[in-house]
Amino acid sequence: MEKTLSIIKPDGVSKGLIGEVIKRLEAAEFQIVAMKLINMTKAQAQGFYAVHKERPFFDSVTTFMSSGPAVVMVLKGVNVIAEYRKIMGATDYKKADEGTIRKSYATDIEKNVVHGSDSPETAAFEISYFFNRFEIVD
Ligand code: CMP
């Protein structure tokens, strides 16, 4: 069993996609072991995406991620990091497979509806960034 951090980004929340995303997570039989609605500050978003701080999109993505409410969740399952990434689709929705969340709902490379950790190390950092151990029902 593995855990990963999932975020329904501000574009997903404002488009009314919370239910749709959660429906897909449950259909995939991922266990939701933590969940909350947050509105990140710019500083919180900068800390979350610190790995990207030298990238040209850093300022824009951290402004976007702090622009409104987002849903943060911890998912648990066998190989859930990779399995959830399959359901999300590629970062660039134009390259995402048919039937993925991003192919269905993303509108640009930044407003791509969902986030998922990309490795066990990243997942450990990202989960602990938003949740303490008392908030994870494990
Ligand atoms: P995410 O998987 O959350 O990780 C970094 C985010 O930066 C990414 O999704 C996009 O929302 C955003 N982003 C904007 N431009 C780019 C880009 N050129 N490459 C990767 N990510 C980008």
With a pLDDT cut of 70, the percent of the chain lying above it is 100
Query: Taking a C-beta distance cutoff of 8 angstroms, is the pair 97, 103 a contact?
Result: yes
The pLDDT tens digits for 96-109 are 999 999 999 999 99
The pLDDT tens digits for 50-97 are 999 999 999 999 999 999 999 999 999 999 999 999 999 999 999 999
> For the residues 105-122, what does the mean pLDDT come to?
97
Expressed in angstroms and rounded, the spacing between residue 36 Cα and the centre of ligand 1 is 22
Whether 52 sits among the annotated catalytic residues: the reply is: no
| Catalytic option among 65, 115, 123, 127 | 115
The pLDDT tens digits for 32-53 are 999 999 999 999 999 999 999 9
Q: Which of 23, 28, 6 is nearest to 87 (CA)?
A: 28
Q: Which of 80, 124, 128, 87 is nearest to 104 (CA)?
A: 87
Nearest CA to ligand 1 atom 20: 91
Q: What is residue 128's predicted lDDT score, i.e. its pLDDT?
A: 98
Q: What is residue 138's predicted lDDT score, i.e. its pLDDT?
A: 84
- Which of 48, 65, 84, 109 gets mutated to test ligand 1 (max ligand atoms within 8 A of its CB)? 109
Helix (H) / strand (E) containing 61? helix 58-65
Backbone angles phi, psi at 72, to 5 degrees: -110, 135
CA angle 109, 53, 121 (to 5 degrees): 85
